Amino acid sequence: MKASLKDIAKKVGVSTALVSYVINGKEREMRVGEEMVARIKKAARELNYQPNQIAKSLKSGKTLTIGFIVADISNTFFANLARIIEDEAKKSNYTVIFGSSDETPENAWNLMTVLLNRQVDGFIIAPTVNSEAQIKYLQEKNIPFVLIDRYLPDLPANYVALDNYKAAFDAVSLLIRNGRRRIGMVNYDTSLFHLQERSRGYKQALTENKLQVEPVLLQEIRESHLKEDIKEALDSFRALEPPVDAIFFPSNKLTVTGLKYIRDLKLKVPDDIAVVGFDETDAYDLFYCPITYVRQPMAAFGKQAVELLLKNIESNKNITQLNLEATLVVRASSGGMPDK
């Protein structure tokens, strides 16, 4: 038989109301002494007390759950972000339910429907392409949400994202300072705004340094044909006269896949070709040359997104849009000073 508040009260010798204050985290508000709080919590553990979440949600109108929809939870960027969000949410007694959209609006909509049926209190979403209708639906239904990593520039909504333009601009500017003049970029063929901003930053860095922005140096590939298309892009870079002397990869998957093919080509990094990647991943440490990369502020992403969502859940409907700055981690692959 499940233990109740009454059972805890009987064991400690206090009122059920006093036990309720402690179990519901109101001990400070009700000025319950620390010794009494410890005794009540100890009794609850000994009796294996489990709160009735259904009853609590009916009383509060909340389920204390958050839906987190990402592109691919197996991607190290989203996996790390999910853990940070989970830990941040736990501080406010929220549980996070994760799901992957696989970059398709249909999957995202199906997942959102499932989570709405589970009565989550709000969403943190990395939106897919063509997801405007889904975001508008949440707005029309007054369902709290925060976009993360990506946002829709023409649709006012809460978001926490990177200043992608500046991150790419700084990465390519580093290569130029290190003497590189034929800098290629491999990006996805996508309408996602954050990736387009990285291409814009790449082009602007070339322009401001009086280097020609050649269409052949910006290769856009299909994510569904990642390995084949990266090989084709890098082969085209090497066939140019003169060939590229540096490459900027604007995502961790692009970077890792590109490095594998660079290794297969037996090119030396940075002697034959300099490389700057994006996002932090353990895979970089397995490459013989320490990789320079753009580090996103993951902890700040997670903390700000959860805080913003919880404020929105508590009826603060003001729109907040945060563009955080990246850190460029400079190592040997970009052709500058090698790691000591």
User: For the domain that residue 29 is a member of, what is the CATH number?
Assistant: 1.10.260.40
Query: In terms of domains, do 92 and 127 share one?
Result: yes
Confidence (pLDDT) at 338:
45
114 lies in the same domain as 24: no
Domain that holds residue 72: 59-161+298-324
Q: The domain that contains 256 carries what CATH number?
A: 3.40.50.2300
Q: Based on the fold, state whether residues 223 and 136 are members of the same structural domain.
A: no
Residue 339 has pLDDT above 50, yes or no: no
Cα separation, 305 vs 290, whole angstroms: 31
My answer on whether 106 and 148 are in the same domain is: yes
Q: Kind of pairing, strands 159-162 and 183-188?
A: unpaired
340 part of a folded domain: no
Whether 168 and 155 map to the same domain: the answer is no
Q: Which residue, of 51, 67, 89, is where some domain finishes?
A: 51
In this predicted structure, the answer to whether residue 56 has a pLDDT above a threshold of 90 is no
SS3 155: coil
Q: Does 103 lie in the same domain as 28?
A: no
Find tokens 């291409």 and name the residue. 199
Task: With respect to residue 339, please indicate whether it lies within any of the assigned structural domains.
Answer: no
Instruction: Provide the percentage of residues in the chain whose pLDDT is more than 90.
Output: 74
**Neighbouring residues of 185: CB distance < 8 A, sequence distance ≥ 6:** 172, 199, 202, 217, 218, 219, 247, 248, 249, 250
Count of domains in the chain? 3
Is pLDDT above 80 for 192?
Answer: yes
8 A C-beta contact, residue 69 and residue 101: yes
User: Which pLDDT belongs to residue 200?
Assistant: 98
pLDDT band at 340 (very low <50, low <70, confident <90, very high): very low
> Would you say the pTM of this structure is higher than 0.75?
yes
pLDDT of residue 299 exceeding 80 = yes
**Residue-level pLDDT at 180:** 96
At 11, which amino acid appears?
K
Same structural domain, 183 and 261: yes
Mean pLDDT of 306-323: 89
- Give the pLDDT confidence of 247-272 residue by residue, as tens digits: 999 999 999 999 999 999 999 999 99
Same domain for 154 and 171: no
For residue 35, give the amino acid letter: E
Q: Are residues 88 and 156 in the same domain?
A: yes
Domain-embedded: residue 268: yes
- 279 plus 315 within the same structural domain: no
The answer to whether residues 30 and 73 belong to one domain is: no
One domain for residues 285 and 176: yes
Kindly state whether residue 247 falls inside one of the protein's structural domains: yes
Tens of pLDDT, residues 107-160: 999 999 999 999 999 999 999 988 999 999 999 999 999 999 999 998 899 999
The three-point CA angle 44-19-47 to 5° equals: 15
Among 204, 166, 162, 186, which residue's Cα sits nearest to residue 296?
Answer: 162
Q: Two tokens at 119?
A: 């009565």
